Every structure is written in C-alpha cells, then in structure tokens.
A and B are shown apart, each in its own frame.
Chain A
Amino acid sequence: MTRLVLIRFALAVPILLGVSVAAFALMRLLPGDFAQAAAGSANVSTEMLEKVRRDLGLDQPIWVQYLAWLGDALRGDFGTSFVTRRPVTSEIGGRLGVTFELTALAALMAMVMGGLTGLASARFRGHTDWIVRLWNGLMLAIPNFVVGTLIVLLAGLYFPQIRIFYFVPFTEDPLGSIGSLLLPAFALSLAVSVTVSENTRAAVLEVASQDFVMVARAKGLRPRTVLRNYLVRNALTPVITVTGLQIAQLLGGSILIETIFAIPGMGQYLFDSITSRDYPVIQAIVLTTAAVVVLVNVLVDIAYIRADARVEG
C-alpha cells in the first residue's frame, strides 16, 4: 500500500515538471519583448531596458532562466507583479483561499445534486429516468457562464431583494461567506453535477445487479435498508472519485464565474492580469492551478485504491 502511494506520487513528478516547462515557455517565448512588458511601457530608454534585462536575468541562456525561475517557484517565490510591483506570492495567497472555497462549495453541491438525481433515475427508472436524463442533457448544454449571466438577469428582473455582487471573506463570517457564494457555486456546479449524476446512475445499477444485493433482498431485508446499506454505500466511492476528477473543470469554470459575480478569487485575478499583461502573475496562477489538478488527481487515485479492495497496483 505505502509503495503504491509512493509510486503514484513519483509518477506525478515528471508531469509536474512538464507543466512547469509549459507554464514557463508560454510566457517567455511569446511574441513581444518580455523586458518591455516588465518595464511597464513601450517607450522606455534602451539603457533602462538593458537594466531590466540584467535584473531579470534575461541575458542568460533560456534553460538557465528556466532553472532559476523553477528554483524560485519551488521556494514559493513567483517574482514581482509588473502592475503592483509587489511579490506575486502575497498577491495570490488570499485569493487562493477564495477560489478554494468557491470550488469546494460547488463540488459539494454537484455531489448532492448529482448523487440524488442519479440515485432517483436508477431507483425508479421509467419516467423519472427520462426526466433526469433530459435535465442532465440540458444542463450539459448550458455553459456555466450562461447560467451565471441568466441568474444575474433573473435576480435583477424578478428578485431585486437578492444581493448578487457581494462577497464576505471566510475569516470574517464563515456562514455569511458561504451564503455570498451560494449562487455562483450553484452556477459552477450544474455541469459537474451531470457527470456525477450519470456516474451515480451507472454505479447504482451495477451494484444492484450484484449477487450480494440479491442475497440481501432474498433474505427479506426491507428495500429501504438495502438501498441505504448496500446500494448507496457501494455507489458512493465512484461518485466521490468522479467529483474529484472534475476539479479541473471546476477550476477552469471559476475563472468565468468569478468574473461574472465579481468574486475576488484567483480566476478574476487571472482575467485582470491577462488584460494588463502581468506575465509573472499569469505564470504563477497557471502553474499553481495545474499543480493542484495533478495532485488532486493523484489523491483521488489513492483514495480509490484505499476504498476499493479489488483495485490492485
């Protein structure tokens, strides 16, 4: 078991290295002069550009630059923002928590909604099944930024008493903070809930056809007991796994949702940084997000091994 866990982590290392190369190359090889962007404007003197270039180490060979950048990044130093001239790490720090809260809330909602609809469609089949699948198809077709925009529109038209554009930091008021993120998290969770729902349905149907469930029913356990103790329990593992694997989609979607609902998270910051061409910030956000996705996938993998005795390394 321990060996297996170590192997999974070891396999993630080359991917993380590749991710860092991509994040670095993306911003350093782009058309236009990195030093010019760093200096902040197009019309700076040649001496000034030379100085910036020396300070940032841009006169070194590209692989030396990469190693230096990676070394700093590993120590938690992502350089200085071109716009605010403050360390990128401190700028991102607080926002990371906001995005984490939003995605965690959305993941939870997706699990509950997807789990319930998936269970219902497997349990009742027939009409319920059709309605759930129709709903799922529709929800899959409505992109999260459209859901977000429509929520804002509906609230503005019919429910002016609902406050939309406000955010309460978690540290100030945990409950109020969750309340302020409910609508954005809902918009973010819909598409993911479809994946969860479809997988729950498949998992419940698969478990229901197993012999031990037949035995349980044959020995006269009440259907409700069978449902709770046998079906839901065994179907829970794939559901959690699937939700974990959707982390990339949630993080990608949070960029749009945070922009729409004016939530001061990483996604909104990324959007602002792209507008202002703040390359160190873009690099840092791209790298941390990809790293989080890789690590969550490894954790999901390990959780799956732990939970399911049938999976062998």
Chain B
Amino acid sequence: MSDTDFVTDDDAPLPQRRKAANGDRWMVGLGLAMLALMLILTLLGPLIAPYDPSMTSPNSLAPASAQHWLGTDSIGRDILSRLIIGGRTTLLITVVAVCLALAAGLVLGLTAGYIGGAVDQVIMRVLDVIFAFPVFLLAIAVVAALGPTVPNLILTIAIVYTPILARVVRAPVLSVKSWDHVEAARSVGVSEFRLVTRHILPLAISPILVQVSLTLANTIFTVTALSFLGLGPPPPDPNWGGMLAEARQFMELAPLTVIAPAGAIVFATLTFIVLANGLREMLDVAGKR
C-alpha cells in the first residue's frame, strides 16, 4: 500500500477540472450514440430482422452461423430477429411509461412545490405510501392484479416511478420559487401557469433530466424482470426477459440463447446509465444523497 496522501477537491488544479468536464460531455455523446443505435435497430426492426421472429424450424438450438448470427432457440426461431423485435416491445413500454410518469411527476411535483402548505403535505404523503413499497414488489402486485397486458404494464410502471420523479421536481421548485426573478415576473403580472413553466421549471430541469435517464434504466430492469417472471407482454410477441427465462432450461446446450438476451438487457440499461452519469457531471447535479 503506497502512502500517497489524499488528493482532495480543493487541491485539484483548474485545468484538470475542465478536462473532466470534457470527458463527461464525451460520456453524454457515447450515451446518445448507444441510444441512437438502439432506436434505429428497433424502429427499423421488421425491415432488418432477417427472419420472422415466430417462425420455427427444425434447426433448433443451433450455434452462431452465417444464416443465424446469434443461433436459434429451442424451437428453432432465429434469436437475432427475436432480439430486434423483442426490443420494440420492451422499449415501447419503457419510453411510454416513463413519459407518463414524468408527466404525472411534473404536475404533482410542480403543484406541491409551488403551492406548498397543505396541498404539498397531502400530495407528498400519498406519494410516500407508494414510495414505501419496494418498486419491484409493487409492480408485481399491480400487474398480477390487473393482468399482464402491454397497457397494464405501462400503467403499472408509470405508477411505480411517479413518486421519485415528483420528488425530484418538487425539491428545486421549493427554493427557486422564492428567487427574485420570480418575484419580478409576478409583479409585472405574469400568469401563474407561465410563472411555473417559464420562470421556475427551466431552472429545475437538470436534476429532472438526470432522474429521467436513471428511471429509464430502472424501467428496463423492471420490464425485463417482470417478463422474466412470466408477467410480461403476452406471447407470441418476443421480449428480452421472457427469452432469458425460456432459455434457462437449455442454456448448457446453447449458451448463446441466454447470453444474447442478457447482452441486450445489459446494453439497454447501460445506455441510460451512461447517459445519466454523463448528464449528472455535465450539468453539475449533486449525485450524493
């Protein structure tokens, strides 16, 4: 163990800091590139998928080959095609659900933060109740109660992730609303709605962006985990979690049947984590606590 001293933040010379900032912008770029790749693959899905994802063939559990880049599964379906088509469902649920959660979080967080008082208390205490459940447990319970269809999955995930987004929206609003420029705008007769959306929200946007990115990563986890347990979108639509679960029986015969969907899940999650970390450092959002 070397006895070098700790380098504290105070000791860091300025140029080094600027370099770090550039590095982080590079990270946002990487995240966006990964996202673009994923979106292109899934949006063009049916055009570039080499086979029909539900087409079976006698050539089952085949290893990677020129015909089947990622091999075939236990009933001879092409894994690459299933990954591409399965990504559509997973990403569709993820993106729509997070948009809904963000919309609800914005409305609740802005209302609670801006109006304050009793309204704030009521909204935040109700959200605390949802917050008390482990996210995944709540998701399982709601999906089990409603039934696993795509709209229900979207609704469930939106409910589960609304509290965290509402909290992240509310916190900066609480302080920004008492700043001078808000007072100035109010004094010249700017409407309440415009005040909140134009004068307060833009100053609170950085932590929201970071949290949305993290929530997208968490949602990929929740959707694929639910599908893994058989609570995902109903068959015959392929989905990553379901593919992973199905492959477990035969994985020692054809490791690729497990590794391929696992890789897809990790890639999707990693995309949003890279994006979140990059945004956090670039926008200088405190990541602690």
Contact = CB atoms under 8 A, between A and B. Distances in A.
A31 interface: yes
A153 B252 contact: yes
A141 B269 contact: yes
B9 A142 contact: no
B141 A141 contact: no
A224 B6 CA distance: 12
B269 A251 contact: no
Contacts of A156: 251-252
Nearest to A203: B288
A19 interface: yes
Given A149-B262, A209-B9, A22 B134 contact: no
Contacts of B288: 199, 202
Majority secondary structure of chain A interface residues (helix, strand, loop or mixed): helix
Contacts of A152: 248, 251
Interface string A258-272: 011000000000110
Interface stretch (A2-10, A47-55, A179-187, A289-297): A289-297
Interface in B217-267: 217, 221, 224-225, 228-231, 241, 244, 248, 251-252, 255, 258-259, 262, 265-266
Majority secondary structure of chain B interface residues (helix, strand, loop or mixed): helix
Contacts of B8: 205, 208-209
B1 A146 contact: no
B147 interface: yes
Interface string A184-213: 000000000000001100101100110000
Interface stretch (A74-82, A108-116, A122-130): A122-130
Contacts of B146: 30-31
Nearest to B11: A209
A283 B133 CA distance: 13
A223 interface: yes
A10 to B, nearest CB: 13
B32 interface: no
A18 B130 CA distance: 9
Contact of B273 (A30, A137, A249): A137
A143 B221 contact: yes
Nearest to B272: A141
Nearest to A201: B288
A296 B122 CA distance: 23
Given A140-B273, A143-B221, A149-B258, A282 B141 contact: yes
A151 to B, nearest CB: 11
B125 A14 contact: yes
A19 B125 CA distance: 11
A26 B7 CA distance: 52
Given A150-B262, A252-B137, A293 B132 contact: yes
B49 interface: no
Contacts of B270: 137-138, 141
B126 interface: yes
B15 interface: no
Task: Report, as a range, how many residues of chain B touch the other chain.
Answer: 35 or more
Contact of A146 (B125, B145, B244, B255): B244
Given A248-B134, A248-B135, A18 B126 contact: yes
Contacts of A231: 6
Nearest to B247: A149
A199 B10 CA distance: 19
A223 B251 contact: no
B140 A146 contact: no
A16 B141 CA distance: 17
A198 B287 contact: yes
Nearest to A204: B6
A35 interface: no
A204 B288 CA distance: 13
Nearest to A126: B7
A163 interface: no
A212 B276 CA distance: 35
B137 A286 contact: yes
Interface in A268-291: 270-271, 274-275, 282, 286, 289-290
A44 interface: no
Contacts of B192: none
Most A CB contacts (10 A, CB to CB) among B135, B137, B259, B265 go to B137
The 9 closest A-B pairs by CB, nearest first: A18-B129, A252-B136, A252-B134, A141-B270, A209-B8, A248-B134, A30-B145, A208-B6, A141-B269
12 contacts: A18-B126, A18-B128, A22-B133, A140-B273, A145-B228, A146-B262, A146-B265, A156-B251, A223-B4, A252-B135, A260-B248, A293-B133
Interface of A: 14-16, 18-19, 21-23, 26-27, 30-31, 122-125, 137-138, 140-143, 145-146, 149-150, 152-153, 156-157, 198-199, 202, 204-205, 208-209, 217, 222-224, 231, 248-249, 251-253, 255-256, 259-260, 270-271, 274-275, 282, 286, 289-290, 293-294
